[in-house]
Structure 1
Amino acid sequence: MEKLNNLLVYEWTSWRGYLISYLAGAHCAAEWDDDWEVLDAACGPDIRAVLFHHRLSNAALFPRQRPAFERKLARRGIKVLNAGRADMRKRTLHTMLENAGLRSARAAREGPVDQFLFVKTDLNYGGEAERALPADLQPLFSAPADCPIRGWDDYRLLRRDEVNPAWWDNPHLVIENFIAHDDTIYRIYGCGDALVCIRAHSPDLIKKEMERPGDRWVCIDRRGLAAVADDHEGFPRDMWRQLAGFVARYSFDYFCLDIIHDGARHTIIDLNLTPFYATHPPAADWFTFLRRGLQQVVANPTLAETV
């Protein structure tokens, strides 16, 4: 499978099986205390862009000199994909959606006592990536040891009157509306102008797209997305509206979104800048579409600028 050899992925424990590993041909391992020389040496004469690919929920401090690295790359004429964007925490996503006038899963403190709510960590996937850091870095990235939820398998589905009142003010937790209707989940991969929307099915409480039979996908570019006015390719109009609103406000170079629904209203519940795919290469035609989109971003830095 042909890969982009002019894109360097500067990654921390996020290469094999991750979607980017099937798109880019060059990568080097990152450590928190790297000096500039490590990244500089990896940027050979063919490299035109670098993607910081660290699966931490907030990787703004990883590596330690990340802002300086981004500035030095820019001075060398090397594009930094998703420059300045490293925060994927759930509270951050809630605020992003609300600022864009989009629906958020953030739960209100007041409401029906019998409404079901989902209590999660602010860190994605229960902070699993953060706990893989060396012990001396834990205070910078991970939740404290007394955080009442310690992992994704400890998420709580509770009625509002069962939620500990102190949890509403705990900065390490998020409390979301429990959104459920059927087993449908929409996953969107974005590479520059290219978007792939997958309608998948997952019976699990925490839904994941797992390439099950019956999944359906459609390729669309940003211009085509803006023109969608009704149900399109069997995907609901409201899903397209939420996606279009997000993409219009936040033009990431490389990203992944998850969207779920309650039967009528669709809500973006996850933003991922380091999406995992599988331990085997993708075979679907949509993968070639994504690769072309990323190729255009690397070749022409003005195609997808962050807002």
Structure 2
Amino acid sequence: MSDTTLPEFVNYSLPVDRLLQLGDANGTAIDWPDYLAMGLTAEHIPQLMQLATNVPLHTSEEEVPQVWGPVHAWRTLGQLGAEAAVEPLLDLMGQLPEDDWVCIEIPRVLQMIGMAALPATLAMVSNRDLSTDMRGSPLSALTLIARKYPEARETVVAELTSQLETAATNDAEWNAFLIGSLIELDGLEALAAIESAFATGNVDEIFIGDWDDVQVAFGLKSPSRLPGGWLPPAFGFSGRAGDSHKARKRGTDQRRKMAKRSRKQNRKRR
């Protein structure tokens, strides 16, 4: 394989370069290997960060083990609790907002890093100049952090509730994502803001269901029908991220098309 096809491939030293030989990460998508057993330590964090954020390598369509190196690298950063990696990993989510591996795994990595990841992640979620796509995965990370660390929950719930106060002018999908996170955090204190958001008619019910569904999710009502809504992979997805980069991109496109078709059908019924 030429260096031009796999940029920076030759720039990693032992034991970091061993990550380039591990190959397909699908088989360990749920239970990650103990990468530290390979001799990786805090001294390797700079090279691990370089590999984890190697976008050309990660997005390469070449059928070679090296393209999985970034996935193994960011998992290692999580196991090391590498606080220095927080900003680069958030930047990576901003660069690749539709990449399933990034959307699914980086939030878990940030949760592993812990409270040190909270300020920068919160800042990205709070940045209303960013698109819904760019903030979706950071929101998932923020939710995971708040679930693991009770001391973060109050701050996170307050921020998400505050954002729902402008539901009428927010993106409808973003409102749905905010509500999904509040459900994950058992944010009953946000119930009034959630109800008000639904009252604006600007919540994408394809993603989260309707007000009745939300009350059922909070345990406030008994279900009288099958729940509506569909949550994106960032919320609770625990399966395989895809067999190839093409498969990941194709899957994301299909989900978006399904959501758009459903919205069109709903508009026709009104």
Q: TM-score, normalised by structure 1?
A: 0.26
Q: TM-score, normalised by structure 2?
A: 0.29
Higher strand share: 1
Higher helix share: 2
With CA pairs under 8 Å and 6+ residues apart, which has the higher RCO, 1 or 2? Answer: 1
